[in-house]
């Protein structure tokens, strides 16, 4: 079986994410209904999350029936083509619930274990981030790059918090140690869009304990193609820890994150 062209996978991902974005905006106008909760009572799944993932599955596997798919809302399908689609149907669900515009559809195409195409579409913000392996990164079709590196004390850093109370207490302590060494913190509510903000120069860096692979698979490629570095490390309690910054400023940001206590297992 021939290896698929990343640009073809990117085109399919972008068309699908646009359609899913239109769907969730339409459903938001009709009113949001919570379907379930996950890690805590405040970590929600809406009917729109489920509808979006169903649409994405139909479009992707309708076009490429031999592919696999990993979706946040339960789809875990093994394919035979070597391609696996990694899908977050709404990243930023609580923002979506409240009517805040900072939410997105995230779709990545992984071929033999490597992400080769990814899109993050934020329909309410009018933003479409896209990247293919070796093909660069864009926002709304225009090439993007990470922000020029500034001293650590002048860096604006994105983050996120768990919905589990014990975890967020721990994470607040890490941030309390980091804050004196940076410009400020922003918590916008969407991991994928935060990483894309680093990619496009809207943030200087990003760190968060706990995100899943569907939160960052597409955005991580966007960031890498824009000149950034994203590492999946481990926190002191063994949870996945994302550290993201422009490549040239990555090492000193990572050192500050380690000093603040975010990283476990010897760093």
pLDDT for residue 72:
78
* 133/22 same-domain check: yes
* 90/11 same-domain check: yes
* 160/138 same-domain check: no
Instruction: Tokens for 220, please give them.
Output: 């991580």
Kindly give the residue spans of alpha helices, DSSP state H, lying in 126-212.
Answer: 165-178, 191-199
- Report the SS3 class of residue 239: coil
* 124/160 same-domain check: no
pLDDT for residue 76:
83
DSSP line for 78-143: --SSSEEEEEEEEESHHHHHHT-S--EEEEEEEETTEEEEEEEEETTTTEEEEEETTTEEEETTEE
The number of folded domains in the chain is 2
pLDDT for residue 3:
83
State the residue range of the domain holding 165.
152-259
Specify the CATH number for the domain of residue 27.
3.30.540.10
11 inside domain? yes
Specify the CATH number for the domain of residue 187.
3.40.190.80
Beta carbons of 100 and 82 less than 8 angstroms apart: no
**pTM for this structure?**
0.95
pLDDT 10s per residue in the chain (267 long)?
678 999 999 999 999 999 999 999 999 999 888 877 666 766 668 899 999 999 999 999 999 999 999 987 676 888 999 999 999 999 999 999 999 999 999 999 999 999 999 999 999 999 999 999 999 999 999 999 999 999 999 999 999 998 888 999 999 999 999 999 999 999 999 999 999 999 999 999 999 999 999 999 999 999 999 999 999 999 999 999 999 999 999 999 999 999 999 998 655
Give the end-to-end CA distance of the chain in Å, rounded to a whole number.
41
């Amino acid at each position: 079986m021939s290896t698929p062209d990343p640009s073809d996978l990117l085109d399919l991902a972008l068309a699908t994410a646009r359609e899913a974005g239109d769907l969730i905006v339409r459903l938001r106008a009709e009113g949001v209904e919570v379907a379930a909760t996950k890690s805590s009572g405040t970590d929600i799944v809406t009917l729109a999350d489920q509808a979006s993932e169903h649409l994405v599955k139909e479009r992707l596997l309708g076009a490429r029936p031999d592919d696999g798919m990993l979706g946040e809302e339960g789809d875990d399908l093994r394919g035979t083509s070597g391609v696996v689609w990694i899908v977050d149907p709404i990243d930023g669900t609580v923002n979506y619930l409240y009517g805040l515009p900072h939410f997105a559809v995230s779709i990545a195409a992984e071929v033999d274990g490597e992400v080769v195409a990814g899109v993050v579409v934020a329909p309410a913000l009018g933003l479409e981030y896209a990247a293919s392996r070796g093909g660069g990164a864009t926002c709304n079709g225009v090439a993007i790059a990470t922000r020029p590196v500034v001293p650590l004390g002048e860096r604006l850093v994105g983050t996120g918090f768990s919905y589990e109370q014990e975890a967020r207490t721990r994470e607040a302590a890490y941030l309390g140690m980091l804050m004196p060494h940076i410009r400020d913190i922003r918590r916008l509510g969407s991991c994928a869009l935060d990483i894309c903000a680093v990619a496009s120069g809207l943030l200087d860096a990003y760190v968060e304990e706990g995100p899943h692979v569907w939160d960052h698979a597409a955005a991580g490629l966007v960031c890498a193609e824009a000149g950034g570095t994203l590492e999946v490390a481990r926190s002191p309690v063994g949870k996945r820890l994302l550290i993201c910054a422009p490549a040239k400023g990555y090492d000193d940001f990572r050192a500050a994150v380690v000093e603040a206590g975010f990283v476990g297992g010897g760093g």
